[in-house]
């Protein structure tokens, strides 16, 4: 039984209304006298628990002379130490990926968790010191605009966006109904219904120059439709009109590639020569081509022919630059 669980049990034993002897606590909690003393001190000083020693009854009880004693309870939602460390790890992960992203909301919670964990074998400081996250290729993002987008998403309100279109360099204004935020390859994207195009679109959050929540209710789009339209193909450039790429990896790469998940619906098989053949659904080839190119000569696009030509043209242009 960890310390947070002991606090909960101590509270329940005292709420029965009668004095509880020290020995009863020691037996029920299976702890030493020194540990019980530390727990009691912590609950009194950190949690304002109105616990007093009743000399006549020979035990501990809640102070009946304190008007607040009958209303006292453990603060907030109660977690075990393992659950608190897990929460702290998630917070540390988010902070490492995008520093300060949810600072105003998570900051107070983080401090409360640290107080509860104290300085045990796995303190908050130990979690932060022992877990290292190295985000790669993440782009700078305005935290205030992220908060506005998240607010509209959770309150189910439409958003006015001024969005930078990288392909043309234009600044475009859009009215959208936000559906979900997606964290993909160290960057945030907004899946939304675009009321101008009357279709689903994906917006890079770092490319949003302005965001304003409106009073209009957001259009609802079912999860099944979102998945069919935006998650069927490969990567962030997905779509419902998918094709299948067949890739053959060199035997030297097979061991590692066979363990990689490129897409939830991918298929793979090991050939007699030790090579690994992977089938991956895709819609827009841009991101898939980038991932294929990073394997250089260790991968061959078997089909479709159009994708094979695209990769070949990219390699040809690279050869012209470096050759």
- What CATH number is associated with residue 165? 2.30.30
Is residue 237 in some structural domain?
no
Single out the residue in 168, 201, 226 at which a domain terminates.
226
- What CATH number is associated with residue 296? 3.30.70
The boundaries of the domain holding residue 214 are 143-226
Q: Are residues 174 and 197 in the same domain?
A: yes
3-state secondary structure the chain: CCHHHHHHHHHHHHCCCCCECHHHHHHHHCCCHHHHHHHHHHHHHHCCCCEEEECCCCEEEECCCCCCHHHCCCCCCCCCHHHHHHHHHHHHHHHHHCCCCCHHHHHHHHHHHHHHHCCCCCCHHHHHHHCCCCCCCCCCCCHHHHHHHHHHHHHCEEEEEEEEECCCCEEEEEEEEEEEEEEECCEEEEEEEECCCCEEEEEEHHHEEEEEEEEEECCCCCHHHHHHHHCCCCCCCCCCCCEEEEEEECHHHHHHHCCCCCCCCCEEEECCCCCEEEEEEECCCHHHHHHHHCCHHHEEEEECHHHHHHHHHHHHHHHHHHC
Single out the residue in 175, 199, 226 at which a domain terminates.
226
Q: Evaluate if pTM is beyond 0.85.
A: no
Q: Are residues 268 and 307 in the same domain?
A: yes
Q: Are residues 67 and 92 in the same domain?
A: no
Q: Are residues 121 and 153 in the same domain?
A: no
- CB proximity list for 28: less than 8 A, separation 6 or greater: 9, 13
Is residue 136 in some structural domain?
no
163-213 pLDDT, tens digit per residue, is 998 878 889 999 999 999 998 887 889 999 999 999 999 999 999 999 999
Q: Are residues 22 and 87 in the same domain?
A: no
* Cα–Cα–Cα angle for 86, 75, 130, rounded to 5 degrees: 25
Q: Are residues 148 and 218 in the same domain?
A: yes
Q: Are residues 150 and 222 in the same domain?
A: yes
Is residue 251 in some structural domain?
yes
* Cα–Cα–Cα angle for 90, 96, 97, rounded to 5 degrees: 90
**Whether pLDDT at 306 is above 60:** yes
Residue 65, pLDDT score: 79
Is residue 234 in some structural domain?
no
Q: How far is residue 267's CA from residue 278's CA, in Å, rounded to a whole number?
A: 6
Residue 119, pLDDT score: 46
Q: What are phi and psi of 272, to 5 degrees?
A: -60, -30
Q: Are residues 159 and 114 in the same domain?
A: no
- What CATH number is associated with residue 45? 1.10.10.10
Position 83 confidence tier, pLDDT thresholds 50, 70, 90: low
Residue 97, pLDDT score: 61
Residue 205, pLDDT score: 93
Q: Are residues 254 and 308 in the same domain?
A: yes
Higher pLDDT, 57 or 123: 57
What domain count does the chain have?
4
Q: Are residues 147 and 222 in the same domain?
A: yes
Residue 32, pLDDT score: 94
Q: How far is residue 122's CA from residue 269's CA, in Å, rounded to a whole number?
A: 43
């Amino acid at each position: 039984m960890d310390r947070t669980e002991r606090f909960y049990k101590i509270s329940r034993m005292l709420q029965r209304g009668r004095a509880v002897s020290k020995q009863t606590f020691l037996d029920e909690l299976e702890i030493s006298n020194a540990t019980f003393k530390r727990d009691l001190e912590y609950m009194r000083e950190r949690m304002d628990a109105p616990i007093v020693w009743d000399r006549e009854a020979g035990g501990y009880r809640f102070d009946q002379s304190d008007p607040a004693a009958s209303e006292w309870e453990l603060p907030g939602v109660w977690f075990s130490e393992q659950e608190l460390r897990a929460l702290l790890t998630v917070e540390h992960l988010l902070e490492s990926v995008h520093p300060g992203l949810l600072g105003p909301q998570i900051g107070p919670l983080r401090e409360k968790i640290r107080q509860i964990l104290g300085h045990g074998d796995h303190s908050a400081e130990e979690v932060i010191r022992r877990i290292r996250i190295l985000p790669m290729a993440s782009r700078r993002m305005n935290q205030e605009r992220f908060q506005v987008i998240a607010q509209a998403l959770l309150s189910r309100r439409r958003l006015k966006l001024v969005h930078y279109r990288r392909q043309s360099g234009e600044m475009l204004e859009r009215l959208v109904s936000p559906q979900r935020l997606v964290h993909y390859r160290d960057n945030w994207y907004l899946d939304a219904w675009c009321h101008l195009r009357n279709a689903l679109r994906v917006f890079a959050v770092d490319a949003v120059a302005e965001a304003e929540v409106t009073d209009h209710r957001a259009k609802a789009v079912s999860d099944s439709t979102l998945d069919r339209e935006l998650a069927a193909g490969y990567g962030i450039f997905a779509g419902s009109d998918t094709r299948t790429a067949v890739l053959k990896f060199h035997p030297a790469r097979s061991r590692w590639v066979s363990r990689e998940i490129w897409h939830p619906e991918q298929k793979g098989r090991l050939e007699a020569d030790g090579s690994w053949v992977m089938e991956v659904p895709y819609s827009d080839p841009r991101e898939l081509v980038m991932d294929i190119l990073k394997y250089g000569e260790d991968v061959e696009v078997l089909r479709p022919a159009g994708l094979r030509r695209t990769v070949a043209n990219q390699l040809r242009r690279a050869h012209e630059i470096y050759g």
